[in-house]
Structure 1
Amino acid sequence: MFEEIASAIAQQDYNTAHQLLNTLKQKYRDHPWLLFYTAQIEQANGNIETARNTYISVLQSSSNRKLLWQAREALRHLESSPRQQQNYQSQEALGEDELAVFVLSAVPTEEKKVAAQTLATTFQIDPYNARLQLPSRGWRLFRSGGRQELLHYSKVLQEANIPCFYLPLDTLESLYVFQVQYLRCEGETVTARCSLSNGQEGSLTFPWSEISAKVTGRVPIFEEILTKNNRGKKQRKTEILDYVQLYDLHLPKRRAILRLCDQKYQFQHSFPLTEQIQKGETLRRNWLQLLQYLEEQLPNVITWKEFTIFGESAIAFPQLLSGISPKINLQRRYETVWDAAFHLYSSLVFYQAESS
Structure 2
Amino acid sequence: MHILLVGAGLSGAVIGRKLAEAGHTCRIIDARDHIGGNCYTERDAESGVMVHVYGPHIFHTDDEEVWRYVNDFTQFMPYQNRVKSTTQGAVYSLPVNLLTINQFFDKTMNPAEAKDFIADQADTSITDPQTFEEQALRFVGRDLYEAFFKGYTEKQWGCSPTELPASILKRLPVRFNYDDNYFFHKFQGMPREGYTPMIEAILDHPNITVELSTLFTPDMAANADHIFWSGALDGYFDYRLGRLGYRTLDFERFTYDGDYQGCAVMNYGDRDVPFTRITEHKHFAPWENHEGSVCYREFSRSAEPEDIPYYPIRLVEEKALLEEYISLAEETPAVTFVGRLGTYRYLDMDVTIREALDTADMFLGTVEQGGMMPAFVKSPR
User: Larger helix proportion, structure 1 or 2?
Assistant: 1
| TM-score bin, normalised by smaller chain | under 0.3
Provide TM-score, normalisation by structure 1: 0.27
Larger RCO (alpha carbons 8 Å, 6+ apart)? 2
Provide TM-score, normalisation by structure 2: 0.26
